[in-house]
Copies of this chain bind each other. A is one copy, B any other.
Amino acid sequence: MPERSPTDSPRPRRPAKTSTSAAKAAPVVEQVVEQVDTSYLETLIGYNTRRAALAIIAEFLPGMAAFGLRPVEFSVLVLIADNPGITARQLCDTLDILPPNLVGMIKDLEKRGLVEKRNHPNDRRAQGLYLREAGNTWLQEARQTATELEIKASNRLSTTERKTLMRLLQKIYLSEQ
């Protein structure tokens, strides 16, 4: 992996004249920052998206702790509920998680009596995953709570804005095929 550093760059550099503003350009003095300027970062989709994701997760984690579900476990349970017989492989492909990291999660959900494995009709290597009877109404409550937490985390957005936001986000991560 080639690393570029300003000190070992093979190309000749322009003189390091970057003085756009006198306040920021003087390199020798000791300055105090009163208000942090984040204007550039706020022009980056990646920065904004990551910050928003962290803010929502910060709301999700304590709110869903009553169900003992973290975001990925919740997603896994929902997919199993909405897709009875889904395989581990399908879960991994859908949620972008690696098979070894799913094994422990499924084991835990089984141990909690929420999920069970059954034979796959066509493929004896695979196993179908199913939500157990007890998990159904319970997951329904969890969904309700999750949705409420989402709305709380985005309470400055109107319903229309929420839809717009999700449409635009999907344009990003669904454009990868």
Query: What number of copies of this chain does the assembly contain?
Result: 2
The verdict on A103 contacting chain B, using a C-beta distance below 8 Å, is: no
- Mark interface residues in A134-162 (1 if CB within 8 Å of B CB, else 0): 11111110010011001001111100011
Smallest beta-carbon distance A80→chain B, Å: 9
Point out the residue from B46, B94, B118 that lies within 8 Å of A71, measured CB to CB: B46
A165 touches B113 (CB 8 A): no
B150 touches A46 (CB 8 A): yes
Q: How far is the CA of A3 from the CA of B131 in the complex (A)?
A: 18
Assuming the contacts A48-B166, A138-B9, asked whether A54 and B94 have C-beta atoms less than 8 A apart, the reply is no
Q: How far is the CA of A42 from the CA of B94 in the complex (A)?
A: 12
Assuming the contacts A38-B94, A52-B173, A79-B36, asked whether A128 and B30 have C-beta atoms less than 8 A apart, the reply is yes
A81 neighbours in B (Cβ, 8 Å): 10, 12
Q: How far is the CA of A153 from the CA of B46 in the complex (A)?
A: 9
Show 26 A/B contacts (Cβ-Cβ < 8 Å), sorted by A.
Answer: A4-B67, A4-B82, A4-B138, A5-B68, A6-B138, A12-B84, A18-B137, A30-B121, A32-B85, A32-B120, A37-B82, A37-B83, A38-B82, A40-B78, A42-B170, A45-B166, A46-B53, A46-B56, A46-B60, A49-B169, A50-B57, A50-B71, A51-B169, A51-B173, A55-B172, A164-B168
